[in-house]
Amino acid sequence: MNARTLLDDLAEVLVVPSFTRMGFGLRRRLYGWPDAESYPMTGRTVVLTGPTSGLGREAAGSFARMGADLVLVGRDAGRLERTRTDLLAEVPGLSAVAVVADMASLSSVRAAADEILGRTPRIDVIVDNAGTMVPTREVTPEGFERTFATMVLGPFVLVSRLLPRLLEAPDGRLVAVTSGGMYTQALPLDDLAYEHGTYNGARAYARAKRAQVALVREWARRLRGPGVVANAMHPGWADTPGLEASLPGFANLVGGQLRTAAEGVDTMLWLAAAPEARAVSGRLLLDRRARPFDRIPSTRLSAGDRETLWREVVALTGEPDPTPRR
Ligand SMILES: NC(=O)c1ccc[n+]([C@@H]2O[C@H](COP(=O)([O-])OP(=O)(O)OC[C@H]3O[C@@H](n4cnc5c(N)ncnc54)[C@H](OP(=O)(O)O)[C@@H]3O)[C@@H](O)[C@H]2O)c1
């Protein structure tokens, strides 16, 4: 450990200096990073969920400027088309297709995956970014608890179905956007649908994010042979419509120190594009560095727990197990 990583780790332990823009500024100065948009993505195709707002919208602009071809996956056809049109105006010559999918609906995600496979000859990066906090417990028409369906089951189906195309890429990468909020909660493997206890939207969100990270670790392990890397990152606390909607007044609470959306997506872009990030897999990152999976020992999921979760999710979605055969 050197002085730089010591300072970085100290900020991380204290949470607030880490998650706010103070943490981003500190680390950028400590490590002297190149700008994330300086990594070229020309000729590579990025499938990005949730591009219509906040971090996803910011990332879509960055990927476009980096030269990537985009597959924009959003739930509202109008908002999605407006996003695509705006991006085409911002980055002339951009290739961007829009595909509608409600991540909470497995049938919608399956139809979207078919459409993507039909319209996109290659997929180099999948960014699982769409997410939301659902204040009261809801069950989708397909019978799933909505938070878990949106951030765990839907993304699992999307990645499973797109995997054959991702495996063809010379440098395939999967990036999942999680939340530091996951540190606060354990994932009850016997109650994934949150049927027991009083539902709390923030807790359901944290549980789903923890499940998402556990699955990323399983993806990383199962895709090691074929050479696709899979990582989760969390953006810290970034100023987006989603954060304001789910935690109104939070910006004041942290003294106006929320990150900008660009600061929030920096590690997502780095994981998707930087040559050196190819060496990283199965990790949870903030600010281009792997961070702990747990801060509270009782929230830890063992390797066996993660395998159990994988099997449960395969069973719930009804997908064939997507693990590539050796
Ligand atoms: N901002 C932060 O500080 C922060 C911190 C930790 C984690 N995150 C995570 O970062 C990601 C982006 O969040 P954000 O802050 O940018 O929020 P946001 O501004 O609300 O954007 C969320 C995006 O996800 C899409 N989305 C939500 N539910 C969907 C569904 N069922 N199907 C398809 N798309 C759906 C939204 O689409 P619509 O435009 O149609 O609503 C929107 O494009 C989320 O996963 C969030 O949990 C954010």
Categorize the per-residue pLDDT at 1 as very low, low, confident or very high, splitting at 50, 70 and 90.
low
Q: Which atom of ligand 1 is nearest to the CA of 130?
A: 24
CB of 219 closer than 6 A to ligand 1? no
Q: Compute the CA torsion angle 116, 159, 260, 241 (nearest 10 deg).
A: 70
**Cα dihedral sign for 18, 21, 22, 28?**
positive
Average pLDDT over residues 263-289: 98
19-60, pLDDT tens digit by residue?
999 999 999 999 999 999 999 999 999 999 999 999 999 999
Ligand 1 center to 48 CA (angstroms): 12
pLDDT at 9 over 90: no
Phi/psi region, residue 110 (left: phi>0; alpha: psi -120 to 50; beta: rest), is alpha
Closest atom of ligand 1 to CA, residue 241: 19
Q: Report residue 254's pLDDT band, with 50, 70 and 90 as the boundaries.
A: confident
Whether 205 is a known active-site residue: answer yes
Ligand 1: does its nearest atom lie under 6 Å from the Cβ of 322?
A: no
- Structural domains in the chain, sorted by start: 3-317 (3.40.50.720)
Q: With bands split at pLDDT 50, 70 and 90, how would you rate the model's confidence at 91?
A: very high
Q: Is 45 helix (H, G, I), strand (E, B) or coil?
A: strand
Q: Which atom of ligand 1 is nearest to the CA of 246?
A: 20
pLDDT above 60 for 90: yes
* Stated pTM of the model: 0.97
d(CA 309, CA 160): 15
Mean pLDDT of 284-309: 97
Residue 286: its pLDDT value, please?
A: 98
pLDDT digits (tens, 9 = 90+) for 202-236: 999 999 999 999 999 999 999 998 889 999 999 99
Ligand 1, atom 17, residue with closest C-alpha: 242
54 lines ligand 1 (CB under 6 A): yes
Q: Which residues contact 291 (CB under 8 A, 6 or more apart)?
A: 12, 284, 285
Which atom in ligand 1 lies closest to the alpha carbon of residue 75? 33
SS3 at position 128: strand
At residue 158, the pLDDT reads 99
146 lines ligand 1 (CB under 6 A): no
The mean of the pLDDT values for the chain is: 96
Residue with CA at minimum distance from ligand 1 atom 42: 50
User: One of 39, 183, 194, 205 is an active-site residue; which one?
Assistant: 205
pLDDT score recorded for residue 248: 87
Q: Compute, in angstroms, the gap from residue 242 CA to the centroid of ligand 1.
A: 6
Report d(CA 169, CA 228) in Å as an integer.
8
For a mutational test of ligand 1's pocket, the pick from 15, 49, 55, 184, i.e. the residue with the most ligand atoms closer than 8 A to its C-beta, is: 55
Distance CA 229, CA 130 (A): 20
